[in-house]
């Protein structure tokens, strides 16, 4: 009998047996309110009947087509259907399995299309664990430590994390853009930069919405220097932030969009979208993979799109997100240790600090563990692990939000 590698770090001790809607049930039959959604994946809830039916039907029809060998219908239908939700300029798509692979695909495309070697990522960003994606990741040391050398040609610029700097958002944006401009004339000269890669909400790095003015500043600089703006919407896409895509909050359009997680309700599927003329600059055969655009995953994604549309999940994410934020802010008002509560849609973070303003991971971990004991599953994030984040399925109701807020009140009352 083989045992599991200790390399996996599990956020909770729960052994899950099944899931339904916003709930997970453990092997003893105990019910948990799942405000992790499989790290922002099961947006339509666990085992949504529409998704289950579509996947079951596809399993009985064709499981694996293999898109570099033959083309299959679910993939073609999904490409067509994504045209309804993508910005009109991003009219060309390419599919893979995981977020990390899609990030690497975007970097390959950017380097091929521009002929330039450098990529600029932002402090605290998370883009994945494969060696190329890890090279762009700076959300925490454990992703990078001891595994280098990673992919070269990556420069990091500051992210406007206003709360951490103790600045206003305007000050943080002005600082971060000033530093970026300095980078572009010093260590990462603009003519050598292929792409900026950024999350519309800093995810694993602490759940910090990227200020719209910063994304607008990146758009301007990308246009001025022929740099591609790549939005990593792996976590923020598919309605999570209360708009279909996170970048919409800034009123800008990226050149390349990366999607995964919520795309297929839990089946492994990711993709990149770009204008056809840009995608045509990728060298044929330079991208692909055995399982990319799997037929069952594509069928699940089509059903996911139906559910999002028919159940109004984007609007629900916006509405319940505000309710959650308000409830959590009331709790923070009574608990000085919760120094900041922030978020966009159903991506909400509670940052724990000591009285002198230093990150307080111990308090965050204690509240996180207590919440799980009380039946509320959550995750932590941030470079210091001092942010407790909440990412429920987008089907969450007002009553379930209120229940989670009540459980959280109990979890922090220690
Ligand atoms: N980008 C972002 C913004 C993410 O949040 C993640 C996963 N947390 C990834 C990329 C990597 O995705 P995956 O784990 O599917 O490789």
The predicted pLDDT at position 414 comes to: 59
- Put simply, whether the predicted model's pTM sits higher than 0.95 gets the answer yes
Chain centre distance of CA 179: 25
Q: Which of 107, 235, 262 is the pocket-test mutation for ligand 1 (most atoms within 8 Å of CB)?
A: 235
- Which CATH fold topology does 52-310 show? 3.40.640
Domains 16-48+312-412 and 52-310 share a fold: no
Alpha helices in 145-255 (DSSP H): 162-165, 169-184, 212-225
User: By the 8 A CB rule, do 160 and 173 touch?
Assistant: yes
Distance CA 181, CA 139 (A): 22
Q: Ligand 1 centre and the CA of 310: distance in Å?
A: 27
Ligand 1 centroid to Cα of residue 333, in Å, is 32
**Ligand 1 contact, 235 CB (< 6 A):** yes
Let me know if 158 is exposed, middle or buried by CB neighbors in 10 A (0-12, 13-18, 19+).
middle
Whole-complex ipTM: 0.99
Please write the tens of the pLDDT for every residue from 27-61.
999 999 999 999 999 999 999 999 999 999 999 99
- Predicted local confidence at residue 47, as pLDDT: 98
Q: Is-contact 412 338, C-beta < 8 A?
A: yes
Cβ–ligand 1 distance for 98 under 6 Å, the answer yes
Q: What is the pLDDT of residue 181?
A: 98
- State pLDDT tens for residues 114-160: 999 999 999 999 999 999 999 999 999 999 999 999 999 999 999 99
Enumerate the domain spans of the chain. Answer: 16-48+312-412, 52-310
Binding site membership of 233 for ligand 1 (Cβ less than 6 Å): no
* CB of 340 shorter than 6 A to ligand 1: no
Gap between the Cα atoms of 200 and 237, Å rounded: 9
Provide the CATH number for the domain formed by 16-48+312-412 in this structure.
Answer: 3.90.1150.10
The predicted structure's pLDDT at residue 231: 99
Distant-in-sequence, close-in-space partners of 89: CB < 8 Å, separation ≥ 6 = 253, 275
Return averaged pLDDT per consecutive 10 residues of the chain, 414 residues in all.
92 95 98 98 98 98 96 98 98 98 98 98 98 97 94 98 96 98 98 99 98 98 98 98 98 98 98 98 93 98 98 98 98 97 98 97 98 98 97 98 98 86
């Amino acid at each position: 009998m083989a045992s599991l590698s200790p390399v996996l770090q599990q956020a909770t001790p729960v052994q899950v047996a099944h899931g339904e809607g916003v709930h997970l049930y453990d092997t003893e039959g105990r019910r948990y309110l799942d405000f992790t959604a499989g790290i922002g994946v099961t947006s339509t809830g666990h085992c949504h009947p529409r998704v289950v039916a579509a996947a079951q039907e596809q399993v009985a029809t064709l499981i694996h087509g293999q898109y570099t060998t033959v083309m299959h219908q679910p993939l073609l239908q999904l490409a067509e259907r994504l045209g309804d939700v993508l910005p009109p300029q991003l009219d060309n798509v390419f599919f893979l399995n995981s977020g990390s692979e899609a990030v690497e695909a975007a970097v390959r495309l950017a380097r091929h299309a521009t002929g330039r070697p450098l990529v600029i990522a932002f402090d605290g960003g998370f883009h994945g664990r494969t060696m190329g994606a890890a090279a762009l990741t700076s959300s925490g040391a454990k992703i990078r430590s001891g595994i280098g050398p990673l992919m070269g040609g990556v420069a990091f610029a500051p992210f406007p994390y206003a709360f951490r700097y103790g600045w206003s958002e305007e000050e943080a944006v002005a600082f971060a853009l000033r530093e970026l401009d300095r980078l572009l004339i010093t260590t990462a000269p603009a003519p050598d930069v292929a792409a900026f890669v950024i999350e519309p909400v800093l995810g694993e790095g602490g759940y910090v919405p990227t200020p719209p003015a910063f994304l607008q500043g990146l758009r301007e600089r990308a246009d001025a220097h022929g740099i591609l703006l790549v939005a990593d919407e792996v976590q923020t896409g598919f309605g999570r932030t209360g708009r279909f895509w996170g970048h919409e909050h800034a009123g800008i359009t990226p050149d390349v969009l990366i999607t995964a997680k919520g795309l297929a309700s839990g089946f492994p599927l990711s993709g990149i979208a770009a204008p056809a003329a840009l995608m045509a600059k990728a060298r044929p055969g330079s991208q692909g993979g055995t399982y990319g655009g799997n037929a069952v995953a594509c069928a699940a994604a089509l059903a996911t799109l139906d559910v999002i549309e028919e159940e109004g999940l984007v609007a629900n994410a916006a509405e319940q997100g505000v309710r959650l934020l308000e409830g959590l802010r009331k709790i923070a008002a009574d608990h000085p240790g919760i120094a900041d509560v922030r978020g966009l849609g159903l991506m909400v973070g509670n940052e724990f600090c000591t009285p002198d303003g230093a990150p307080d991971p111990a308090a965050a971990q204690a509240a996180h563990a207590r919440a799980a004991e009380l039946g509320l599953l959550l995750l932590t994030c941030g470079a210091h692990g001092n942010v407790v984040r909440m990412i429920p399925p987008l089907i969450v109701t007002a009553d379930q939000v209120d229940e989670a807020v009540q459980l959280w009140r109990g979890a922090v009352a220690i």
